[in-house]
A and B are shown apart, each in its own frame.
Chain A
């Protein structure tokens, strides 16, 4: 049985985790590891009258976790802070982390991007224990999410957060009781680790791709006005164009991957899709 709960993260997911803890009569300590202009987590903490700390310095975070000396469940929920080895060795801590893919597939950063880009039929969420190796600890719970034909990386990210919150609500009683056993990933299942600097196809739209792949590439880079990646670009007749926008619509006509260039647009048809790409 854990004696206290600490939630560390930013945005809506830790806020939802806080609500689930309160629903089980637990008042967690809330930690936000980076300043957020829009912070529902801080607002929810204040509204619930629970302890909240903005700890943006790695040393401050490390000391906070090292000083925990009672059995503590640490919920890492959309959290960019990497727990150092010394914290992981604190015997009082049981740390569970949310990851927005079905591990071991798409370990690391921007998992929804890679799931869309690689034309996965489904992705999902994973709650897992944290070990020194990123996104490789025992899996506690997973739930798949079907990837829609037109879903963007931003939309899929939001879906994973909502699903992750729901799954946390189901596992929190077991986590509190300390009864949540995990499933160890085997070495053969060790997926590729995506790093923050990794960009699908280095940000280049390949005109040799099928329409479905071109659509997937553009949607995988699409976080709305969040600049997660540089604008994608395309090489066309010796010139590099930045891609300013795109539109994907269903197309029932039987056209086999036809590409046309009109003014400042690329228009591609095929595989039941019509894709318009606006060039700059």
Chain B
């Protein structure tokens, strides 16, 4: 659960006013705009020492915590 907590913490830092825990679809619920996603990607890059590519900055990779976790796994970040 270490990474899941880390993602949740980073999300809450990016958008402290949003309640991500009550949403199963961050995009459809409008919790993230493009600025948030770019800020989130920068924070994930820094936290895990990776560089998420532009081709991966698409809505389906940021729909919920599980989707972000799958994205991180693609870059070798695992639980």
Near B by CB (< 8 A), chain A positions 29-55 give 36-44, 47
Tell me the complex Cα distance, A127–B57, Å. 32
A-B pair count, CB < 8 Å, reads 57
Q: Given A37-B58, A38-B59, A227-B54 in contact, is the A44-B30 Cβ separation under 8 Å?
A: yes
CB <8 Å contact, B58 and A42: no
CB <8 Å contact, B34 and A225: no
Near A by CB (< 8 A), chain B positions 12-54 give 27-39, 41-42, 52, 54
**Chain B: residues with CB nearer than 8 A to chain A?**
27-39, 41-42, 52, 54, 57-59, 62
Closest to A158 in B: B35
CB <8 Å contact, A12 and B41: no
Interface readout for A1-37 with B: 1 if CB under 8 Å, 0 if not? Answer: 0000000000110010000000000000000000011
Interface residues on A, range: 20 to 34
By a CB distance below 8 angstroms, the chain B residues around A40 are 30-33
**Chain A: residues with CB nearer than 8 A to chain B?**
11-12, 15, 36-44, 47, 154, 157-158, 161, 223-227
By a CB distance below 8 angstroms, the chain A residues around B52 are 225
Return 27 A-B CB contacts under 8 Å, by A number: A11-B33, A12-B36, A15-B33, A37-B58, A37-B59, A38-B27, A38-B32, A39-B30, A40-B31, A40-B33, A41-B30, A42-B30, A43-B27, A43-B29, A44-B30, A47-B30, A157-B35, A161-B35, A223-B38, A224-B38, A224-B41, A224-B42, A225-B41, A225-B42, A225-B52, A225-B54, A226-B34
By a CB distance below 8 angstroms, the chain B residues around A37 are 34, 58-59
Query: B50 → chain A, closest Cβ, in Å?
Result: 12
Closest to B26 in A: A38
Tell me the complex Cα distance, A277–B35, Å. 24
Q: Given A158-B39, A225-B42, A227-B54 in contact, is the A15-B34 Cβ separation under 8 Å?
A: no
Our pick among B30, B36, B38, B54 for the contact of A43 (Cβ within 8 Å) is B30
CB <8 Å contact, B39 and A12: no
Closest to B34 in A: A38
CB <8 Å contact, B33 and A154: no
CB <8 Å contact, B35 and A12: yes
